[in-house]
Chains A and B, each alone.
Chain A
Amino acid sequence: MTNTRLLRFYRPACLALLALLSLTACSTSTIIDEYRVTDASLELGNGEQVVIMGRRHAGEYETEPDFINCIGNKLATKGKLKVMPEQVFLDSFYPWFEPRVAPLKLRRMGRMLEEPLIAERIKALGIRYMIWVNGNTETTEKKGTFSCAIAPGGGGCFGFASWDKASSYEAIIWDLKQLDEKGRVNVETKGSSYLLAVGAPIPFIAQVQGDACDGIGNRLKGFFLKGAPETLPPISTNRALSNQRALSNKRASRESDD
């Protein structure tokens, strides 16, 4: 009798909590800043290709290879752009783009291209643009606890945990033919994930890195293909893509790092 009363009391409370969680869970917010030197699409001749590289010189983090592959796949969708896989590029130019010696600035890249061996291979492979991506995704906060137990009669989990993730990436496009910078894209994504365990664990995972990849990939695609930013994914009910700011040409006078 007492159990029935308890169930009557807790069932609506649990359902309300679940409904609340499903409304707020997995929400991510993305801010994209874009800077273009010119409004015109970047030209890419026949046989020319793009390479996307992750920065890995910092001690405390490395730009994830999976993230670089994800952006590459976004750019290469439907075969409109030819993208060279990062590892293939690194192996073809070993040791010149390894973390210890990779050029951080365009001026250093220019000096590297004075070496005929490197310049010839760049030309032979038709690499026109090099996109450097710097940043990472990290867990910023963890709250709550849950535990699982197993016994001869069965098992289960009980508890609640939540964690916040934040992605921050910057992509810089270098034109290796003209040896200048063509633009930058900054993306900041934040999101919270939850794990509710009442018997079985029910996860609500926010795709923080995935959303950052969508944001940066589609923006970069817009540099090469006209109208590509329109291909941004539709904003779903539980995924808020907010505050997209295109700063095209506003910072055209901004000097490159060099």
Chain B
Amino acid sequence: MEQMKKTRFILIPRLTLVIASILLAACSTNVTVTGDYPSALTRSMPYHVGLVLDDSFTNYTYESGEEQDVNMALGKSQTKLFNQIFSDMFSRSSQLQTASNAPAQNIDLIVVPHVEEVQLAMPFETRLNVFEVWLKYNLQVFNREGEPIADWLMSAYGKTQTRFLKSEEEALDQATTAALRDAGVKLIIGFKRVPEIRDWLEAHPESTPLAQRGSQ
């Protein structure tokens, strides 16, 4: 009898906790962005670029606790996008954990992206039948000596219409993938147009072959 009472005493709070956590999880939206990004049709620039993607970028998860709990893991997907785009834009691209690794690898440009802001708009907020995602990145660009060249704030937008019987998770995944595709467009078209980067590219003409520089 005593034993039964003890077991009940332990089990009931545990069960309550498990049920409560299941109910809480059921009320939140958990999304892992799974998008794939195509190879870009662009002329590659003859530089070796070092892309510094630290843990805060590669494991980035957006958490919103406003009207509805939304957890969106987009770190892996954005890492895939940035690696793809920079390897298409430059003749050589290396992913680095920190900028301090750059000099050893004979790198011309160091790019350090950070997620500045993520915003979501869901149908229950906007009364529109559309899921929208805004992404804002800060791209810091340094030369091989580690001197800053540019600080570029870049924003991207993606949306998806709600489709019949489509879950919120699927819709958010699609909208975020669209926003990341848009970020790729901005990177490819906008990177060379940033005045400071354009000046640096003009000062370091493309005619300087990378191999030649490597042998110096």
- With the chains together, A121 CA to B186 CA distance in Å? 22
Q: Which of B11-19, B100-108, B177-185 lies at the interface?
A: B177-185
- With the chains together, A196 CA to B37 CA distance in Å? 46
- With the chains together, A101 CA to B185 CA distance in Å? 8
Q: Say yes or no: B42 contacts A117, CB within 8 Å.
A: yes
Residues of A within 8 A of B205 (CB): none
Chain A: minimal CB distance from B183 (Å): 10
Tell me if A164 is interfacial: C-beta within 8 Å of chain B: no
Q: Say yes or no: B41 contacts A94, CB within 8 Å.
A: yes
Tell me if A214 is interfacial: C-beta within 8 Å of chain B: no
Q: Say yes or no: B41 contacts A100, CB within 8 Å.
A: no
The residue from A61, A64, A95 contacting B40, defined by CB atoms under 8 A apart: A95
- With the chains together, A94 CA to B43 CA distance in Å? 12
- Contact mask A138-161 → B, CB, 8 Å, 1/0? 000000000000000000000000
Give the number of residues in A that approach B within 8 Å (Cβ atoms).
Answer: 18
Residues of B within 8 A of A95 (CB): 40-42, 181, 184-185, 188-189
Chain B: minimal CB distance from A64 (Å): 7
Tell me if B28 is interfacial: C-beta within 8 Å of chain A: no
- With the chains together, A221 CA to B43 CA distance in Å? 37
Tell me if B161 is interfacial: C-beta within 8 Å of chain A: yes
Residues 41-77 (chain B) with a chain A CB within 8 angstroms: 41-43
- With the chains together, A61 CA to B189 CA distance in Å? 25
The closest CB in chain A to the CB of B42 belongs to A117
Q: Say yes or no: B41 contacts A92, CB within 8 Å.
A: yes
Q: Say yes or no: A62 contacts B41, CB within 8 Å.
A: no
Tell me if A10 is interfacial: C-beta within 8 Å of chain B: no
Residues of B within 8 A of A117 (CB): 41-43
Residues of B within 8 A of A99 (CB): 182
Q: Say yes or no: A62 contacts B161, CB within 8 Å.
A: yes
Residues of B within 8 A of A98 (CB): 181-182, 185
Q: Say yes or no: A94 contacts B189, CB within 8 Å.
A: no
Residues of B within 8 A of A91 (CB): 38
- With the chains together, A83 CA to B130 CA distance in Å? 29
Chain B: minimal CB distance from A138 (Å): 9
Residues of B within 8 A of A64 (CB): 161
- Contact mask A108-132 → B, CB, 8 Å, 1/0? 0000000001100100000000000
Chain A: minimal CB distance from B133 (Å): 14
Spell out B's residues near A (CB within 8 Å): 37-43, 128, 159, 161, 181-182, 184-186, 188-189
Enumerate 7 A-B pairs (CB-CB under 8 Å) in ascending A order: A92-B41, A94-B37, A94-B39, A95-B189, A98-B181, A100-B182, A121-B41
Which 8 pairs, one residue from A and one from B, show the smallest C-beta to C-beta distance? A91-B38, A95-B185, A94-B38, A98-B185, A95-B188, A100-B185, A94-B40, A93-B41
